[in-house]
Amino acid sequence: MSVISVGQAVLLGVVEGLTEFLPVSSTGHLKITEGLLDIPVDDKSVVGFTAVIQVGAIAAVLVYFFSDIKRLVTAWFRGLAHPEQRQNRDYTFTWWVIYATIPVVLVGVAAKPLIDGPLASLWVVAGSLVVGSGFMWFADRYGQHKRGEDDITRTDALVVGASQILALLFPGFSRSGATISTSLIRDLDRVAATRLSFFLSIPALTGAGLYELKDAVGGGVSVLPVVVGTVVSFIVAYASIAWLLKFVARHTFDAFVCYRIVVAVALAGMLAAGVLEA
């Protein structure tokens, strides 16, 4: 019998799709939801399920940004085949995304016992939600928002890509929150910061999902819930991407900062009251 039902997979897919790209921490929200549903969060197949349904969200990015991604990939292959094409900005940007993913991959492999063990605690999630909120508030307030997407440099990509490590080690910090905030500190505007976060998410989350696939379908979770959760995640994530890009063009991140703090306080309360186990 699957430890995650189809109905639970639908709910988790909605949570993943809504929160993967919003700077509120999808991992934190999934852990909280799984705890409330009495799903064994320390089960390897559940950890794998969580990683695999992220692929649905990444598929939404691929579809939404298809023309951009097609342009980047085409320029990359042309640059590999023809040295004279290597001055093309799309060629170099694609390499920057690849380079920027290496640190998070190395840390993910080296620190996996910690990530799946002590750092998976819901108390860590609560604390990371608060700390990440402070980081985001500071970045949004003190970043100068003066540089657009065409102004992104190799250093920007590498620094912002490395910031994904914060979310990897501290569930609740938020991968999108870390990357967007770091971009803002480097004076990118909100739309450029958000779009860079999307592009950096593709190799990182796709790799994590494929790596965990064997545990998701080879253990206590049946194939059907994995498929359902992934499809639901894709649909909801696509809608959330469109909404977020419109939102950041006109608003600050204050609403997300306040929301994260409310969730952190509520989570701490449930942990203290014994409603949830850490």
3-class DSSP string for 97-138: HHHHHHHHHHHHHHCHHHHHCHHHCHHHHHHHHHHHHHHHHH
Tokens 């380079």: give the residue: 99
Q: How far is CA 153 from the centre of its chain?
A: 22
Q: How much is the average pLDDT of 127-137? A: 96
The answer, yes or no, to whether residue 238 has pLDDT greater than 70, is yes
What local confidence, expressed as pLDDT, does residue 216 receive? Answer: 61
Average pLDDT over residues 85-109: 93
Tokens standing for 87? Answer: 């001055």
| pLDDT, position 221 | 76
Interhelix angle 6-19/223-248, rounded to 10 degrees, is 20
Whether residue 1 has pLDDT greater than 80: no
Q: Which residues have C-beta within 8 Å of that of residue 144, sequence separation ≥ 6?
A: 187
Each residue's pLDDT tens digit, 109-128: 898 888 888 888 899 999 99
Q: State the pLDDT at residue 218.
A: 58
- Exposure string for 156-168, b = 16+ CB within 10 A, e = fewer: bbbbbbbbbbbbb
Per-residue pLDDT at 219 exceeds 70? no
Per-residue pLDDT at 106: 92
When mean pLDDT is compared across 78-87, 162-171, 195-204, 211-220, the lowest value belongs to 211-220
* pLDDT over threshold 70, residue 212: no
Closest-CA residue to 200 (of 180, 218, 181):
180
Percent of all residues in the chain with a pLDDT value above 70, rounded to a whole number? 96
Both tokens of 197, joined, read 């976060």
Is there a contact between 180 and 193 (Cβ–Cβ < 8 Å)? yes
- Is 45:262 a contact under the CB 8 Å cutoff? no
Residue 147 backbone phi and psi in degrees, to 5: -115, 135
The total of other beta-carbon atoms located within 10 Å of residue 225's CB is 24
pLDDT at 147 over 90: yes
Lowest mean pLDDT among 36-50, 121-135, 152-166, 246-260: 36-50
What pLDDT, on a 0 to 100 scale, did the predictor assign at position 42? 72
Quick one: 247 exposed, middle or buried, by C-beta within 10 A (0-12, 13-18, 19+)?
Answer: middle
| Cβ atoms of 147 and 184 closer than 8 Å | no
Q: What are phi and psi of 188, to 5 degrees?
A: -70, 150
Where are the extended beta strands (E) located within the chain? none
pLDDT interval class at 54 (50, 70, 90): confident
